[in-house]
């Protein structure tokens, strides 16, 4: 299982992607200026996009290299492969939080920025990001396990647009100026987590019965 995770991390966290993140984040902070709330929201909105892209890319790389055929020839249960893919999205959220914490801490240390990571506003943005990733995973991953990412690329984009349209239309996406709304966001995340777990069970059933050729 560790080797599967290492494979995905190497394929996505390459030098180009890391440099892009290191360049784009300071540029975004510079353009936004001293609007604290917009900086925080922008950082974690970018995080949700990056993690979603990572999820799509990991499936695409597997499909391109015919990894399904290779891994299914090994003594690895298909259910473990599915659970790994889901668990890996949680790992990516954690890795992004670590990455952001390091960048912001260095920025604060050099006085280029002044962002307090330990407040309710940051927590709300993190929960917003997590809910988006969990919803995307819950909706899209069963489709990927059933049909593959290449055939469903356009459908994936439409689903992502719909997710943001629904969340944005509800006034939830990065617009919570009232920190008292944090309880509502926590409840939404619990619902998203439930969807995430149910989706993983569905994906196990789909992938277990799938013919790998």
| Residue 168 located in a structural domain | yes
pLDDT of 25 reads 64
Distance between CA atoms of 122 and 91, rounded to whole angstroms? 19
pTM: 0.82
Where b means 16+ CB within 10 Å and e means fewer, 74-84 reads eeeebeebbbb
- Domain around 20: 2-208
Mean pLDDT per 10-residue section of the chain, whose length is 213 residues:
66 66 63 63 81 85 77 78 91 89 82 75 85 92 87 78 66 51 82 96 92 67
| Residue 213 located in a structural domain | no
Where b means 16+ CB within 10 Å and e means fewer, 101-131 reads eebbeebeeeeebebeeeeebbebbbbbbbb
pLDDT of 22 reads 66
For the chain, how many structural domains are there in total? 1
């Amino acid at each position: 299982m560790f080797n599967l995770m290492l494979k995905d991390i190497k394929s996505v966290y390459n030098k180009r992607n890391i440099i892009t993140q290191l360049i784009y984040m300071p540029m975004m902070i510079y353009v936004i200026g001293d609007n604290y709330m917009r900086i925080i929201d922008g950082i974690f909105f970018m995080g949700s996009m990056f993690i979603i892209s990572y999820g799509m890319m990991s499936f695409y790389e597997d499909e391109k290299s015919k990894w399904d055929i290779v891994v299914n020839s090994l003594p690895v249960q298909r259910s473990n492969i599915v659970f790994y893919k889901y668990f890996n999205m949680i790992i990516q959220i954690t890795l992004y939080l670590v990455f952001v914490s390091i960048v912001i801490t260095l920025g604060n240390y050099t006085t280029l920025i002044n962002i307090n990571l330990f407040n309710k506003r940051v927590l709300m943005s993190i929960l917003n990001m997590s809910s988006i990733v969990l919803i995307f995973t819950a909706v899209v991953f069963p489709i990927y396990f059933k049909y593959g990412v290449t055939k469903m690329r356009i459908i994936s984009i439409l689903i992502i647009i719909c997710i943001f349209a629904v969340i944005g239309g509800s006034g939830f996406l990065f617009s919570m100026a009232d920190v008292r709304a944090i309880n509502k966001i926590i409840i939404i995340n619990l619902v998203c987590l439930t969807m995430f777990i149910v989706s993983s069970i569905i994906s196990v059933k789909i992938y277990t019965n799938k013919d790998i050729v």
